[in-house]
């Protein structure tokens, strides 16, 4: 679970900016506080702000940090998107995150300058109560020479000394993190490093406005509990869908969509499955359905998701590509809510209400909020003021993003305002009490008629 994330000089974040999941003085909804080693963390955070205020940039930074860890190079977006308004172009960039994985707190940070990771460090966090414990730190100098330092317990191991020498001389790249390199080593001294890498890989999920869930047609076939959870949830939302089915066919040009390059595409898929028989290949066909291609029982199969709509007279099948954007978005979100229920996972969503009616999204958030059995954390951006309801969200779970006159994004919590638990925070937000809403100026003075006259 996330404790906090700190950023500097990336996108609209010029100064050092912190976003935290540590509870404030709020006493409402006490069940929203998880305990890890007697340390309390919030289960949810909603980030509000005007268009262009920078709230989506925070979500992007979560994604860029995860990508930096999992890939063998820095994402280009990090290095090309330094803060541009009155900023110091020579200043380095920082992304740091503090989190719990399997009840142990960690602090991981990368500092970047001119597309080079100048510093990378991993500590067991002392949570501000005791000194952090070094696991490793990596530094790269102006000549792109990298050094790695481990704590004494790791560093005195003879095998580690050999690994460190080989990695720094042959494998470490100035524009790539070493966390994955170290996690891939088969050495018991790197257990904590593997733990952290696996947290980024498996426990941090990012859902963007245009994200689409992968291999759902295959997953509902292999995971009956997931299928039941989606069906039960979607039925209660009353959008006309009765159940989900998987359609399985052989691989040919018709199943991937008629295309002059169909044979070449099929051959490419077959080669991928030959190289990695256990892999799953996904693509979108011309109807924007997700096509899942995999090998089962030595046969290449294609799977598509079908949604069964119930009417008065009969049930009608729809492929995913025939569904509304709102239905597709719900199918992206509902499995994530199941993970939040049963797993110690962090789900970060940008524009959670995208294409979904305000009543439906509030129902989902309310269900998650009031469920005392949840295990994960939900962090999301939104414009939906209906979610500002103190019956389902704590004041310290509400954050605002606002840009100052220098173009820098500032993040602040509603908990900074001394509001009573009975106050209508939705009304206060829309009235501008907390800032972070569009300043419209004098739109009524704009004479649209002159444009109609001139054209």
pLDDT at 101: 95
Confidence at residue 440, expressed as pLDDT on a 0 to 100 scale: 53
The phi, psi pair for 292, rounded to 5°, reads: -105, 125
Question: Exposed, middle or buried: residue 343 (CB in 10 Å: 0-12, 13-18, 19+)?
Answer: middle
Reference 348, options 360, 336, 366; nearest CA is: 336
| Tens-place pLDDT, residues 68-93 | 999 878 887 777 778 766 555 668 89
**Cα separation, 221 vs 235, whole angstroms:** 19
CB atoms < 10 A from the CB of 453, how many? 8
66: nearest Cα among 238, 194, 160, 206? 206
Distance in angstroms (rounded) separating the CA atoms of residues 49 and 193: 36
DSSP string, 21-33: ----S--S-GGGE
Q: What is the pTM of this model?
A: 0.89
What H or E segment, with its residue span, contains residue 65?
helix 55-70
User: Whose CA is closest to 116, among 139, 88, 133?
Assistant: 139
- The answer to whether the beta carbons of residues 385 and 50 sit under 8 Å apart is no
| Structural domains of the chain, ranges and CATH numbers in brackets | 1-209+350-441 (3.40.50.300), 216-326 (no CATH)
Residue 440: partners with Cβ closer than 8 Å, 6 or more residues away: none
End-to-end CA distance of the chain: 57
Give the model's pLDDT for residue 287: 59
pLDDT of residue 260: 41
With a cut of 50, list the residues of the chain below it in pLDDT.
Answer: 259-261
């Amino acid at each position: 679970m996330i404790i906090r994330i700190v950023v500097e000089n990336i996108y609209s974040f010029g100064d050092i900016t912190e976003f935290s999941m540590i509870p404030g003085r709020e006493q409402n909804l006490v069940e929203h506080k998880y305990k890890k080693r007697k340390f309390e963390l919030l289960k949810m955070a909603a980030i509000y702000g005007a268009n262009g205020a920078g709230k989506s940039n925070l979500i992007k930074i979560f994604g860029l940090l995860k990508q930096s860890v999992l890939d063998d190079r820095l994402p280009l977006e990090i290095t090309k998107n330094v803060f541009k308004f009155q900023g110091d172009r020579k200043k380095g960039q920082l992304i740091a995150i503090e989190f719990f994985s399997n009840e142990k707190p960690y602090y991981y940070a990368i500092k970047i300058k001119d597309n080079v990771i100048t510093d990378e460090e991993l500590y067991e966090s002392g949570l501000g109560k005791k000194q952090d414990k070094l696991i490793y730190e990596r530094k790269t100098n102006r000549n792109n020479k990298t050094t790695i330092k481990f704590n004494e317990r790791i560093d005195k191991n003879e095998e580690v000394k050999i690994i460190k020498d080989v990695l720094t001389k042959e494998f470490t790249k100035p524009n790539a993190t070493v966390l994955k390199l170290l996690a891939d080593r088969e050495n018991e001294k790197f257990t904590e490093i593997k733990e952290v890498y696996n947290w980024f890989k498996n426990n941090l999920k990012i859902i963007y406005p245009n994200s689409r869930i992968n291999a759902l047609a295959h997953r509902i076939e292999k995971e009956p509990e997931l299928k039941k959870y989606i069906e039960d949830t979607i039925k209660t939302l009353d959008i006309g869908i009765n159940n989900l089915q998987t359609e399985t066919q052989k691989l040919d040009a018709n199943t991937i969509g008629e295309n002059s390059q169909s044979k070449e595409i099929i051959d490419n898929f077959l080669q991928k499955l030959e190289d990695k028989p256990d892999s799953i290949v996904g693509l979108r066909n011309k109807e924007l359905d997700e096509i899942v291609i995999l090998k089962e029982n030595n046969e290449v199969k294609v799977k598509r998701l079908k949604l069964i709509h119930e009417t008065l007279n009969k049930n009608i099948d729809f492929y995913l590509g025939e569904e509304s954007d709102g239905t597709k978005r719900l199918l992206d979100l509902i499995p994530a809510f199941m993970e939040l229920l049963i797993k110690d996972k962090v789900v970060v969503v940008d524009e959670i209400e995208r294409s979904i009616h305000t009543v439906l999204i509030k129902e989902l958030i309310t269900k998650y909020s009031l469920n005392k059995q949840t295990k994960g954390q939900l962090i999301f951006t939104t414009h939906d003021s209906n979610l500002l309801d103190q019956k389902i969200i704590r004041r310290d779970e509400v954050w605002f993003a606002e840009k100052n006159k220098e173009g820098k994004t500032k993040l602040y919590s509603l908990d900074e305002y001394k509001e009573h638990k009975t106050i209508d925070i939705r009304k206060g937000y829309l009235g501008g009490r907390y800032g972070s809403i569009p300043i419209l100026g004098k739109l009524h003075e704009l004479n649209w008629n002159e444009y109609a006259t001139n054209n």
